[in-house]
Structure 1
Amino acid sequence: MTTSTYRTGHVAVIGRPNVGKSTLTNALVGAKISIVSPRPQTTRHRLLGIATFPEGQLLLVDTPGIHREQGKSSATAMHRWMNRAARGAVEGVDAAVLVVRAGQWDDADSFAYEALRGAGVPVVLVVNQVDRMKDKTVLLPYLAKISEGRDFAGVHPVSALKRNGLDPLVKTLLALMPVQEAMYAEDEITDKSQRFLAGELVREQLMRQLGEELPYATTVEIEKFEVDGTMLRIGAVIWVERDGQKAIVIGKGGERLREIGSKSRIQMERLFGAKVFLETWVRVREGWSDDEAALRAFGYHD
């Protein structure tokens, strides 16, 4: 239901890698739609999170971390694609959220801010993980320092993980949105399909369990997604670039692959609200992360 004061609009969630953009998106949506791991660049795709409130609807564009490219020769096709996805997220939005980690501001944060300033949209600064600051007396001087000389439409210290400080942030963002009706139904939380989300949940477990060994050498393709009564039957292929990586993913006696599958299945059942029968396979495609055709085949579309 909408009123003459109901507001709806798009908000790009931007920042350097691993500052909590996906955690913030999930917290505002109220459901896990973006995967999270301690590894930088876990998010590879632009993903729309739909956060609906009595006063309005925020369409949150979660993005890969934006970072300065070091030249075409040193960046893989995957890294170039993620940067394009992050930069493209600000096109057509009504506002942007710049997420930084509490107590930190470096050249990468400045680079992200300048990219947003060039887009000509209002920028709201979200300082995440304030709960991890041991000395809270440094917070206000820190906020004053990073705000100096920069034009922010609002500054909000939050803990996305603990969901603290989100209500004032929502109020600020809604005030920047145009007055218009909701674009999505109240029970919709993302524009992505269950098939896409299933692949992301498998990839999340890969990042969590193998991030140190295979940080970016894996991707996931869902070959089968079938509804069988009250059960979902899902077949997931984990792609790696070398035979040695395949052995790492499978683990001794297949133990690691079973663990990845088990934890992925639990997350799928939680998100989809249904029983899941999940099968996983590991296959090799050499150099897929630097192959534009392979990226397109695996769903990395501009």
Structure 2
Amino acid sequence: MKNSPTNFRYGCVVIIGKPNVGKSTLLNNLLARKVAIVSDKPETTRHRILGILTGEDFQIAFIDTPGIHKPFYLLGEQMVKTAKSSADNADLILFVMDATDAITNEDLNIIDFLKKIKKPSILLINKIDLVKKSKLLPIMEEASKLSDFKEIFPLSALNKREVNMLLGVIKPFIPDGEMLYPKETVTDRGIEFLIPELIREKTLEFTREELPHSIGVMVEEFREKEDTGIFYIRAIIFVERVSQRAIVIGRKGSMLKEIGKSARKEIEAFLGKRVFLELYVKVLINWRKDLRAIKMLGYAE
């Protein structure tokens, strides 16, 4: 993009790690804005999500990726493929580990992947607010022996001060370059992407441990009514079994009502307008094994 200030830096930073280590929380707090849904369920992120942070003399394109894991379904294979391919154009990799876990085989597999692609990487040990310092130091020492990380940075992705300190660590690795995106751009994902993701987030939140990986969401209709200015949204929540449909709907529709109420409030906050949200639940048997279904729901890129 022309007319960038002199001595400007632009770079791409890819966030990778196994599922549920806090990658999306980190992205949201780096941007000070929600662009990725968050859940305590593994494998919540299914897409490559771009978040753009612009300062006076820099612009960083952060890419949040699905957790890298051993996939058991075609959906998982697509997610891992997305995560690994996202690293191709990275100037820097942020590899996130969970301080509450020992170093796992999944972590070791990611380290092997990082060695193969030969990109500079910073190891982030997240969730340090949940462990004693006496446990953290051995993890850092062990991790330092596994690869040639440029930095090892312990933090809580929920702590704004620590996230801002991390930004100071990242900046020296960003190369000189022109601004690629307009200053006001925060993500390449529009509201049409965020709406089904927000509905999925609330479905995960309310159904808890019942069916996190079996949920897919597709928006069938999204329009603004000219006479009222209210946005009308009709969306389908897909599950894989009839028993799962019953869980999402709940007794006399109570669960679906709560999901819709919570999702509607968050969508209204994004749009800044009133929303009428209509939700349906349908069974799409074994959709995670069906490439056509995965593509229909937008989970294959």
Scaled by the length of structure 2, what TM-score is found? 0.93
* Residue 182 of structure 1 pairs with residue 184 of structure 2: no
3-state DSSP of counterpart to 1:9: strand
- What is the alpha-carbon root mean square deviation over aligned residues? 1.7
Deviation, structure 1 residue 148 = 2.0
3-state DSSP of counterpart to 1:31: coil
Deviation, structure 1 residue 5 = 2.0
Indicate if the aligned counterparts of 1:158 and 1:164 stay in contact, CA closer than 8 A.
Answer: no
Aligned to 1:299: 298
Indicate if the aligned counterparts of 1:30 and 1:51 stay in contact, CA closer than 8 A.
Answer: no
Unaligned runs of 5+ in 2: none
Aligned to 1:284: 283
% identity of equivalent residues: 36
Of 223, 227, 232 in structure 2, the residue corresponding to residue 226 of structure 1 is: 223
Aligned to 2:20: 18
Cα-to-partner distance string for 1:210-229 (whole Å, 9 max, x where unaligned): 24111211100011111335
Aligned to 2:10: 8
Indicate if the aligned counterparts of 1:227 and 1:233 stay in contact, CA closer than 8 A.
Answer: yes
Matches within 5 A, 1:1-302: 2-69=4-71, 75-103=72-100, 104-133=102-131, 135-228=132-225, 230-302=229-301
Deviation, structure 1 residue 137 = 4.0
Cα-to-partner distance string for 1:122-180 (whole Å, 9 max, x where unaligned): 101111111112x3244344322211242112221111123231223212222212211
Deviation, structure 1 residue 270 = 2.2
The number of aligned residues is: 296
Unaligned runs of 5+ in 1: 70-74
Q: Distance in 1 between matches of 2:62 and 2:16?
A: 10
Which stretch shows the higher mean deviation, 265-274 or 292-301?
265-274
Q: Which has the higher helix share?
A: 2
Q: Distance in 2 between matches of 1:43 and 1:255?
A: 26
Q: Distance in 2 between matches of 1:277 and 1:295?
A: 27
Indicate if the aligned counterparts of 2:49 and 2:189 stay in contact, CA closer than 8 A.
Answer: yes
Which stretch shows the higher mean deviation, 220-229 or 40-49?
220-229
Q: Structure 2 vs 1, CA of residues 140 and 248 (structure 1 numbering), >3 Å: closer, same or farther?
A: closer
Amino acid at match of 2:44: T
Amino acid at match of 1:24: L
Indicate if the aligned counterparts of 1:32 and 1:271 stay in contact, CA closer than 8 A.
Answer: no
Indicate if the aligned counterparts of 2:91 and 2:120 stay in contact, CA closer than 8 A.
Answer: yes
